[in-house]
Amino acid sequence: AQSVTQLDSQVPVFEEAPVELRCNYSSSVSVYLFWYVQYPNQGLQLLLKYLSGSTLVESINGFEAEFNKSQTSFHLRKPSVHISDTAEYFCAVIMDTGRRALTFGSGTRLQVQP
């Protein structure tokens, strides 16, 4: 079975400061890794994904995440956050075989303050 751990339930940060949201996973088989974002009162949207190839992946709005196989981590980073980045962020994994369903972490609420 696979599982996802997001260590921080809330991360307050000032605008234009850097941020890192942590994600660790466990799985006995190879997995694909994802970050989803949920803005207030909305459904989830895919932010970025790691399937294969380069371990550093980027989103269109400045976020990046790095797959670290030895540490089983997929932390999300942004060098300078904006007020509009305030949202809840979910790390998720899916196995490359078997049931094609996502397993989500418990979420991290990013609160960007002016």
Partner 1 sequence: NAGVTQTPKFRVLKTGQSMTLLCAQDMNHEYMYWYRQDPGMGLRLIHYSVGEGTTAKGEVPDGYNVSRLKKQNFLLGLESAAPSQTSVYFCASSYLTRAYEQYFGPGTRLTVT
Closer to partner 1 by CB, 6 or 19: give it.
6
For residues 42 and 72, give the distance between their C-alpha atoms in angstroms, rounded to a whole number: 29
Closer to partner 1 by CB, 38 or 73: give it.
38
Phi and psi at residue 83, to the nearest 5°: -55, -40
Give, as ranges, the residues between 32 and 91 that touch partner 1 (CB under 8 A): 32, 34, 41-46, 49, 51, 90
Of 55, 73, 61, 67, the C-alpha closest to 6 is 73
Among 85, 105, 110, 112, contact with partner 1 (rule: CB under 8 A): 105
How far CA 6 is from CA of 29, 97, 99, in Å, comes to 20, 24, 22
Residues forming the site for partner 1 (CB under 8 A) = 4, 6, 9, 32, 34, 41-46, 49, 51, 90, 94, 99-107
